Structure 1
Amino acid sequence: MQPSRRLFLAIAAGVAVANVYFAQPLVVTMGTDLGIPPGRVGLFVTITQVGYGFGLFFLVPLGDLVDRRRLIRFQFLLLAAALLLTGFAHNAALLLLGLAAIGLLAVVVQSLVAFAASLSYPAEVGKVVGGVTSGIVIGILLARTVSGLLADLAGWRSVYLVSSLLSLLIAATLFRTTPQNKAKLSYYALLRSTVSLWTEPLFRARAVLALLIFAAFSTLWSSVALPLSSQGLSHAAIGGFGLVGAAGALAAGPAGRLNDRGRGALTTLAALTLLTMSWLPLAFTPKSLWALAIGAILLDLAVQAVHVSNQSMIYGLRPEAGSRLIGAYMVFYSIGSGVGAIASTTLYAAFGWIAVCLLGATFSLSALVVAGLGVRRSSRASLLCGSCR
Structure 2
Amino acid sequence: MTQTTRRRFLTGGGAAVAGASALAAPSVVRAQSTMTIKMQTAWPAANIWQEFAQQYADRVSAMSGGRLTIDLLPAGAVVQAFQLQDAVADGVLDAGHHVTAYWYGKNKAASLFGTGPVFGTDAAQMLAWIHNGGGKELYRELVEDILGLDIVGFFAFPMPTQPLGWFNQEITSIDQMQGLKYRTVGLASDVMQGVGLSVAQLPGGEIVPALERGVIDAFEFNNPSSDRDFGAQDVSKHYMMGSYHQAAEFFEIIFNKSMFDDMPDDFKAILEYAAEAVNTSNYGLAMDRYSADLARLRDEDGVNVYRTPTSVMERQLASWDTVLEDLTQDEYFDRVVQSQKEWSERCGYYNLLNQADYKLAYEHYFPGKLGF
TM-score class, shorter-chain normalisation, is: under 0.3
Taking CA–CA contacts closer than 8 Å with sequence separation of 6 or more, which of the two structures ends up with the larger relative contact order?
1
Structure ID, larger Rg: 2
The structure carrying a bigger strand percent of its residues is 2
The structure carrying a bigger helix percent of its residues is 1
TM-score (norm 2): 0.27
